[in-house]
Structure 1
Amino acid sequence: MKRATCAAMALSALLVAGCSTVPVTTDKALPVPADRVYQPEYLQASADRSSTVVVLRDKGFSGSGCSHDISVNNIKVLSIRQAEGATLHLAPGAYFLKLETGGGLCPNISTSQNLVLAAGERQVYRVLLPSDGNLRLTRQE
């Protein structure tokens, strides 16, 4: 009986770990398709938009059927799916970066980060859904 319980616990741990997502690097991330970019000017560099925010969504089974909306100062910029990434070009200053999901089989979850960008600064954020099911937006660089 003890062996069966240990085996069941080990199998459960493997299944939960299998639901975690895996990070995607900037060179491996797929671009967000144009039909899910709602504010294309944020993806274009310009002289006054010298700062960048890179958003990379993990790949993996967990949450793979959901799109996650990325907003800057409550303006929906794009919807990102698993293994995708986008570089947002912003003017130096303070911003409110929000990540939201919901609809269909996906739970309504929202998380956000306040950030301040200096001229020429680059910040990288990871969108992940670990095995605990709590959607996260975490700064990587």
Structure 2
Amino acid sequence: MRSILALLPLLLLAGCSSYRADPGQVKAVPDDRLLAYQQVEEGRGRIVVNRDIGFLGGGCYVAVLVDREVAARIGVGEVATFHVPPGARVLGISADKQDETLCGKGFLWRELAVQVAAGENHRFRIVSENQGGFAIRPDEP
């Protein structure tokens, strides 16, 4: 009994971390929340961003930034694709400033550099964790 009571808080905390959605659960970000880099043009690369499923921040959108420009507002279990010019790109996430609730008032700013070549595909995921909050990471199968 004591071991169950000792493990319960750990299990509850682990439940707040996000997890990768099953492919059948993932939905595309609706067109009205895709704000930039949607034109398919020859010579461009693709950046695909999936947001994990999880309780932390589950009711909030996260802004996806490409070269520090808001390219989409992504929800839990959604995926967005961006068609970007080749070269060094800055991919990031931030609080959604279009959200007038507390979600949009928080501070969130994470970035990473992505070297994109024409015709290349890069996949990333937005995760939320108990200790570190939100992060964007390469999505490795």
Q: Shared fold (TM-score greater than 0.5)?
A: yes
Instruction: List alignment gaps of at least 5 residues for structure 1.
Output: none
1:61 and 2:50 aligned: no
Match for residue 138 of structure 2?
Answer: 139
Corresponding letter in the other structure for 2:40: A
- Which residue number in structure 2 is paired with residue 44 of structure 1? 39
**C-alpha displacement at 1:26, in angstroms?**
5.8
- In the TM superposition, structure 1's runs of 4+ consecutive aligned residues that sit over 6 Å from their partners are none
The Cα of 1:37 is off from its aligned counterpart by 1.7
Q: Deviations over 1:19-64 (max 9, x none)?
A: 111113666421111221222xx12311132x11100000122210
Percentage identity across paired residues of the two chains:
31
SS of corresponding position for 1:108: coil
| Equivalent residues of 1:43, 1:86 under 8 A apart | no
Structure 1 contact 25–56 (Cα < 8 Å) conserved? no
In the alignment, structure 2 segments of 5+ residues that lack a partner are none
Alignment of 1:102-121 (within 5 A): 104-106=101-103, 107-121=106-120
Matched length: 135
Give SS of 2:43's match: coil
Moved more, 67-76 or 18-27: 18-27
* TM-score, length basis structure 2: 0.85
Larger Rg: 1
Q: Distance in 2 between matches of 1:25 and 1:85?
A: 12
1:23 corresponds to 2:17: no
Name the TM-score, length of structure 1 as normaliser.
0.85
Q: In angstroms, what is the RMSD of aligned CA positions?
A: 1.9
Partner of 1:44, secondary structure, is coil
The answer for the alignment partner of 1:87 in structure 2 is 81
